Amino acid sequence: MFSALRIFFLLVMAGFPPCTTAARDRATQTTAVQNVSHHSEQLLLNAIEKIRNDDFDGALTELRHLVKLNPQFNLAQLMYADLLSARAHRITDFGNLLTAPYKQITALREEAKARWRYQQSQPAVKQIPVSFVQLANKQKYAIVVDLAISRLFLFQNHKGVPSLIEDFYVTIGKNGTGKVTEGDQKTPVGVYFVTGFIDPDKLPDLYGDGAFPINYPNVWDKRDGRTGYGIWLHGTPHGTYSRPPRDSDGCVILSNQDLKSISPYIDEGQTPVILADSIEWLSVDDWKRQRNQYMTFIEQWRNDWESRNADRYLRHYSREYSGLGKDYEGWVQYKRRVNPSKNFIRVKLIDPSMFLYPGDERILVVTFDQDYTSDDIHRQFTKRQYWRREADGEWRIIYEGSVS
């Protein structure tokens, strides 16, 4: 009686190994953000594994526990109903309910695939996303979303080294990734920062327990002509838990439970949110080598500025540079006039952060508090630069400006 359901799961999960003990026990390794949502997913995965191993009674036990724990988990409810139905008569398909719309069944099927597949390809413990070149000291936490596998990763800045503390299933744009125009229902790819929090009382129920806007479109998006606005991390409508991997108008959606879990770790204006088509992972040693490599040319730029030699300083700027109200030619003229006129220049770069642009590792986003002193001026402000590796292999600044 259970054969059709088992066949479905074998087809859906084809090519993926059984759920390992390490994967099942991941929840015990990171307890900082434990919640009902995380436990629910683990029970679901346990049930799928038991179905794969013909332990249908065991799967029923897991699912019975799960639907009591989290009644809004429609995927679990559907699987539970299928297993109960299969006890009485042969079922013909996943979601063997005549009353369930085909679109809804398809959405739940895609959710099952996404949750299962991630568990079989988790990053190794202590690996770091290549985009996280350096976190600033004030960036206590950082977020990266792997859009291809519908997963949000929350990292802690542990003495300068990003350390994974938890991950969450998310939903992205209906039409995938690479947002270009307003209304294309795609999720952008890039380096962003949380700009605030919108209380749920000020939002329709569509956004659940609130929203964290990010700064899309950023400077790089605007240079490339990308349009649109209102890309947020937000919750689900109340009463909703299950949803397919692609179901938003471009936002990144978490369950309300998960949104509440990550909320204490998000700081307005500070927390980076990296949206990547896929994440490349580095060992800690490789990550440290990468960080030192990039810090070298940032430090050389600072030293050349202090030298007051305009030619040395300007070699760090792309001919496509724009920023601080000037294009490249305007910047060259200005710096050739100003730098040599100073008796001294001292520049401190305080608490820098660096992020490689996902999907285009020729772009490096650098942010720091700049403390500039010369014989006639002292100024401190937060600066953000976009560096680009150009055709000759050299990294040059293509944009810089203040961060409000």
pLDDT at residue 227 is higher than 80: yes
Same domain, 171 and 53: no
Question: What is the band of 315 on the pLDDT scale with cuts at 50, 70, 90?
Answer: very high
Give yes or no for residue 200 having a pLDDT over 80. yes
CATH of the domain at 213: 2.40.440.10
* 183 and 258 inside one domain: yes
Task: Mark which of 282, 312, 345 sits at the end of a domain.
Answer: 282
Q: What confidence tens digit (pLDDT) does each residue in 95-139 have?
A: 555 556 668 888 988 999 999 888 877 887 789 999 999 999 999
- Are 73 and 57 in a shared domain? yes
Instruction: Mark whether 206 and 267 lie in a shared domain.
Output: yes
Q: Tokens 């063997």, residue?
A: 96
More confident residue, 264 or 15: 264
Same domain for 144 and 104, yes or no, is no
- Which own/partner pairs from 44-50 qualify as long-range (CB within 8 Å, at least 24 positions apart)? 44/73, 44/75, 44/76, 44/79, 44/112, 44/115, 45/19, 45/115, 45/116, 45/119, 46/19, 47/76, 47/79, 48/9, 48/13, 48/19, 48/112, 48/116, 49/18, 49/19, 49/24
What's the CATH code of the domain at 293? 3.10.450.50
Whether 18 and 50 share a structural domain: yes
Q: 68 and 102: one domain?
A: yes
Residue for token digits 């692609």? 246
Residue 132 and residue 276 share a domain = yes
What single-letter amino acid sits at 289?
A: R
pLDDT tens, 366-379? 999 999 999 999 99
CB 24: neighbour CB atoms within 10 A?
14
pLDDT category at 81 given cuts 50, 70, 90 is confident
For residue 349, pLDDT over 90 is answered with: yes
Q: Please state, rounded to an integer, the average pLDDT across all residues of the chain.
A: 89
Domain of residue 221 covers: 128-282
Same domain? 317 vs 337: yes
DSSP characters over 68-97 = HH-TT-HHHHHHHHHHHHHHHS---SSS--
What pLDDT, in 10s, does the model give residues 83-94? 887 776 655 555
Of 23 and 126, the one with more pLDDT: 126
- Claim to verify: residue 318 and residue 210 sit in the same structural domain: no
At residue 297, what are phi and psi to the nearest 5 degrees? -80, -25
- How many domains, the chain? 3
Mean pLDDT, residues 336-351 taken together: 97
Least confident of 24-38, 113-127, 176-190, 236-250: 24-38
| Whole-number pLDDT of residue 82 | 82
Closest CA relative to residue 233, chosen from 175, 273, 205, 278: 273
Res 384 pLDDT > 60: yes
Please indicate, yes or no, whether residues 271 and 164 belong to a single structural domain of this protein.
Answer: yes
Average pLDDT for 232-253: 96
Judge if 278 and 338 occupy the same domain. no
Query: Of 258, 282, 306, which residue constitutes the final position of a domain?
Result: 282
Helix or strand run (H / E) with residue 328: helix 328-338
Work out the percent of the chain whose per-residue pLDDT is above 70. Answer: 88
Please identify, among 91, 119, 147, the residue that sits at the C-terminal boundary of a domain. 119
Q: Give the whole-angstrom CA distance, residue 99 versus residue 20.
A: 36
